[in-house]
Amino acid sequence: MAFITEQELREQWQEGTVNRFDFPAGTRFSPAALDFINQWRLDIFVGGECVSPEWPRVSHYSEGGLPYLATKWKNTPREEHS
């Protein structure tokens, strides 16, 4: 059984643009590693099974456009509430 730390995840993540990580069955994660997974919305598979939540898809700036959510914003005047 392996125990993965935040530092190990960070090193693997910085080597490329990988958002999916595959680990052998029985792998466990430190609390800091779990925070890192949630912060960066990484897809984690342990023994072939996805153990991370399904993240909403938002375009990355390197994909040639604004994030999806940003395209829904409009420059409209602020409504005054009485």
Tens digits of per-residue pLDDT, 13-71?
Answer: 876 567 788 999 999 999 999 998 888 888 899 999 998 888 776 555 555 555 545 44
Task: Output the pTM of the full model.
Answer: 0.61
User: Given a cut of 80, is residue 73 above it in pLDDT?
Assistant: no
- Domain assignment present for residue 68? The answer is yes
Task: Give me the half-sphere count of Cα atoms (radius 13 Å) on the Cβ side of residue 58.
Answer: 12
Whether residue 81 lies inside any domain: the answer is no
Q: Which residue has the tokens 């910085």?
A: 14
The pLDDT score that the predictor gives to residue 52 is: 86
Q: Is residue 12 part of a domain?
A: yes
Q: Is residue 8 part of a domain?
A: yes
How many Cα atoms occupy the beta-carbon half-sphere of 73 within 13 Å? 7
CB 50 within 8 A of CB 43: yes
Give the per-residue pLDDT at 4. 93
Q: How many domains in the chain?
A: 1
Q: Can you give the pLDDT at residue 49?
A: 92
Domain hosting 12: range is 3-72
Is 34 a member of any domain? Answer: yes
pLDDT of residue 41: 83
Count of beta carbons in the 10 Å neighbourhood of residue 77: 5
